[in-house]
Structure 1
Amino acid sequence: MNVRKIALAVLVLTVIGGTAAFADNVSQKLRVIVNKQELVDGGVLVDGKAYLAVRALADSVQAILSWDDAEKKVVITKPNVHMFTMQDSTTFGSVSKGRNKFNIFSQIDNLKVDITAFKVTITDPYDDTTWLDGRDTSDKDFPDSGKDNFWFKTKEVSYDFKYSGKYVIRFWMKPKGETAFQVVSEKIISAK
């Protein structure tokens, strides 16, 4: 009886080991690097073709990712979003530590997807994020559906740059039919 159990165990382990070795030969893990950052999910190489994690790729290039379930397709849209920061009429990219007042101007074009909201946030060097301004479809100055370009100026922001380091300003959009905001642009402010 023990001989049968041992033989069965050896057979099962041989099949499992052979399958794992075959799967490893058919597909290989693939490191994917975008703008000097390695994607966490990376990809796989199967029969000489690279397959990437779409969400990781879209996030790394700050694009909007939408899923069309009816047509079983993924749509990646990369709008142009240019942001600049101004104190009075002077642009800046660095500040002294402490409270500063400023506005963020954003120019959006090549928007090829309808959105239902957008927002601007700032994240300090310790990953604490603060909402600065934004709009949704209930606001009278929200861009019309189908509009592919618009400008946005935040209200005057009074923000305390408590720490030395890099602060990240992000412009987020929520595509129509989606529940989550997605980052479409970033700007760095250095505080000293």
Structure 2
Amino acid sequence: MKFRKVAIWLVLLSLCGGTIIFASDAAQRVRVILNGSSLDESGVIIDGKTYLPLRELVSSMHAIVDWDNANKRATIYKPNVHMFLYNKGNSPFGVVEKGFQGKIKVFSQIDNLQTKIDSVKIAMVDPYGKEKTIQSKNVASEMKDKDIFWFVSEEFDYKFEFAGQYTLRFYLKMEGSDEWSVVSEKQIPSRT
């Protein structure tokens, strides 16, 4: 009787240990680092293939993901977006002194646009994370069969009241979607 109990426990412990070892080998966690920053979600390796968190990776890369639920397909678009800031005298700038206030325009050049776009939006984020929308515009009628376009914001008044990094963001909204995607960011240091 004693031998039988020991044998059963030995078999159970062997199975549990084997299952744990197999499970740890079957799915290994992968830490994903993009431009020096770790993503919140980790990836996994299963059967030698690496799987990464799609939405977070696309967001960090300033791309757009189009999820087709019916076909279980994700299409990633990565347009090239370049932004320049101009002050009232049409002089480009990229660094400001703390407290600078002036009339500003944002010039944006977008190419390699492989999907239909409904709207664009430009926003400024202060060093404390407060975002202010500068301009939002529906551009669907202007975008017929275009993969390259330029967008110049209306002139706006802005005050860089804090020292630190300000972030200018350029958003796109795909046709038929309600979701805005950040496709470009520009850092503007405000110095004391």
Give the TM bin, normalised by the shorter chain.
0.7 to 0.9
Question: Does the 8 A contact of 1:100 with 1:161 survive in 2?
Answer: no
Which residue does 2:124 correspond to in 1?
122
1:89 aligns with 2:90: yes
- Report the CA distance between 1:89 and its aligned residue: 2.0
Which AA in structure 1 matches 2:85?
Answer: T
Structure 2's unaligned 5+ residue stretches are 1-9
Which residue does 1:113 correspond to in 2?
115
The one-character-per-residue Cα deviations of 1:108-146 (angstroms, maximum 9, x if unpaired) are 1110011111100000000000000121157xxx52233
Which segment is superposed worse, 119-128 or 84-93?
84-93
Q: 1:12 to 1:50 in 2, by over 3 A?
A: same
Question: Does the 8 A contact of 1:42 with 1:53 survive in 2?
Answer: yes
Which residue does 2:7 correspond to in 1?
none
Q: Secondary structure at the match of 1:159?
A: strand
Question: Does the 8 A contact of 2:117 with 2:143 survive in 1?
Answer: no
Partners of 1:70 and 1:129 lie apart in 2 by 35
Which residue does 1:29 correspond to in 2?
29
Q: 1:13 to 1:103 in 2, by over 3 A?
A: farther
- Provide the TM-score with structure 2 as the length reference: 0.86
Which residue does 1:60 correspond to in 2?
60
Aligned pairs for 1:143-158 within 5 A: 143-158=142-157
Question: Does the 8 A contact of 1:113 with 1:146 survive in 2?
Answer: no
Aligned pairs for 1:141-180 within 5 A: 143-180=142-179
4+ residue runs over 4 A deviation: 10-18
Q: Percent identity?
A: 41
- Report the CA distance between 1:71 and its aligned residue: 2.3
Partners of 1:179 and 1:136 lie apart in 2 by 12
- Report the CA distance between 1:11 and its aligned residue: 9.2
Which AA in structure 2 matches 1:52?
Answer: L
Q: 1:118 to 1:15 in 2, by over 3 A?
A: farther
Partners of 2:58 and 2:133 lie apart in 1 by 23
Which segment is superposed worse, 121-130 or 38-47?
38-47
- Provide the TM-score with structure 1 as the length reference: 0.86
Partners of 2:29 and 2:23 lie apart in 1 by 11
Q: Secondary structure at the match of 2:178?
A: coil
